[in-house]
Amino acid sequence: MGDREAQKECTKQGIVLPCPFCGGEAELKQLSGRWAVCCKTHCVGTKIYGNKNKALTAWNTRQAPPRDEADHEVN
């Protein structure tokens, strides 16, 4: 299964993927009847959606940062 297929399968199963920037845990949050997915360390999140599945889909199928940028050490 390729990365895209794995992302879609996780979304179908309701699995929230880790943060693409810090690798930390993320959570699906309900905000006054609307939904968003946020990194628990608050480094990034989705916009707010009126539908839980749309928020999860946006998070799980987002483009990951380029590998060299993700591995770059910040001084």
The pLDDT profile of the chain, 75 residues, written as one tens digit per residue, is 458 888 888 889 999 999 988 999 999 999 999 999 999 998 899 999 999 999 999 999 876 556 555 454 544
pLDDT at 61: 87
What residue has token string 């990365």? 3
Strand locations in the chain (E): 26-31, 34-39
**Whole-number Cα distances in Å, 23 to 12, 16, 31, 33, 49:** 21, 12, 24, 27, 23
Instruction: Find, among 61, 64, 53, the residue nearest to 28 by Cα.
Output: 53
